[in-house]
Amino acid sequence: MDVSKIQQELFQVIKANIPGHLSVTEEIARVLDVSVDSVYRRMRGEKTISLDELHALCSHYKISLDSVLNIQTGAFSFQGNLIDSSSFRFTEYLSSILKWMNYFNSFKQKELYCMYKDIPLFQHFYFRELAAFKYYFWMKTIFHFPDFTSRKFSFSEYPDEVFALGRKNLDIYNQLSITEFWNVEGINSTISQIEFYRDGDMFESDEDVLKIYIAVEKLVDHLEAQAALGYKFDHNDPEKKPIGSYEMYFNEVILGDNNQLIILDGLKLSMITHTVINYMITRDMVFNENMYNHVQNMMKKSTRISSVSEKERSKFFRTLHQRIARRKDTLKL
């Protein structure tokens, strides 16, 4: 085992984890509490790092030691928190995601590949009515908050601070170069949730249900407009000034899993969603290379409907609108 080579590879991984506008040596010096010159000697392999330093670096930068040492254990290292419904605060959850989004956005090259099985978290915050309903669904059904046990849905009880934090996440999300994979089933979860609460008499009136469906329609319209232009823009901007590049792919047979591949200045990360709203992130090189290959395979088996394929794009979005329209027709207004 060439210790010097492994040490240099470790620092290459760490370098890829540090945003380009920061000094790599100064950041590492701060973690190890040593001088910048001392960091340079370690990076060149002139001085061997100690076990304590190895532990400090791997812990701080969330690096799997197995991966660095090229030990094939079949295990993958992930970083994340499991939500505890007894102490959960939605603002803290959104704030934790915001930290990751700011981290992603700190790199020069930032690409996000998303495979969706339903409307992604960020896009709910385009329209307050939709965001308010999803908040109610998560708090009542996923987290079983006691205050929501018998509470009916109400737009007025949706906290402003939650929506404001969601909008901040959406703003940063829109600055990234996004490639999304969709299936026509992508809005079924939201429709099913709306109808479940409607059947359970959890709405004050069908007028409230209509407002939510109108919000979903507006979101579909906005996504179609972005797909046609090939870039993202603020839905309140009449000039539709571009924010970030946007590619949309339609896959007729494969339903996504809400997982994401992020590429930051060449560094690959994967964000895995589980148990509806929990997430975990890995920098494991083997796992991420497999995820990257999966994304490339998805592209080959999908139809690009952004900027090109106007006929296929119109067909896809027409199907989504038809599914919403059928539900709206059943409302008693």
Look up the CATH number of the domain holding residue 51: 1.10.260.40
d(CA 297, CA 300): 5
Q: So what's the pLDDT on residue 248?
A: 96
Do 144 and 116 lie in a common domain? yes
Domain containing residue 208: 79-328
Q: So what's the pLDDT on residue 154?
A: 95
Q: So what's the pLDDT on residue 31?
A: 87
Q: So what's the pLDDT on residue 76?
A: 72
Phi, psi at residue 286, to the nearest 5°? -65, -45
Write out pLDDT tens, residues 95-154: 988 988 898 888 888 899 999 888 988 999 999 999 999 999 988 888 888 888 889 999
The domain boundary residue, chosen from 29, 47, 68: 68
Do 93 and 150 lie in a common domain? yes
Q: Is 326 exposed, middle or buried (0-12, 13-18, 19+ CB in 10 A)?
A: exposed
Do 154 and 257 lie in a common domain? yes
Q: Is 132 exposed, middle or buried (0-12, 13-18, 19+ CB in 10 A)?
A: buried
Do 99 and 58 lie in a common domain? no
CB atoms within 10 A of CB 104: 21
Q: So what's the pLDDT on residue 313?
A: 95
Do 138 and 246 lie in a common domain? yes
In this prediction, the residues of the chain whose per-residue pLDDT falls under 70 are 1-3, 20, 64-75, 83-87
Q: Is residue 305 part of a domain?
A: yes
Q: Is residue 73 part of a domain?
A: no
Do 204 and 62 lie in a common domain? no
Which amino acid is present at 272?
A: I
Q: Is residue 74 part of a domain?
A: no
Do 242 and 153 lie in a common domain? yes
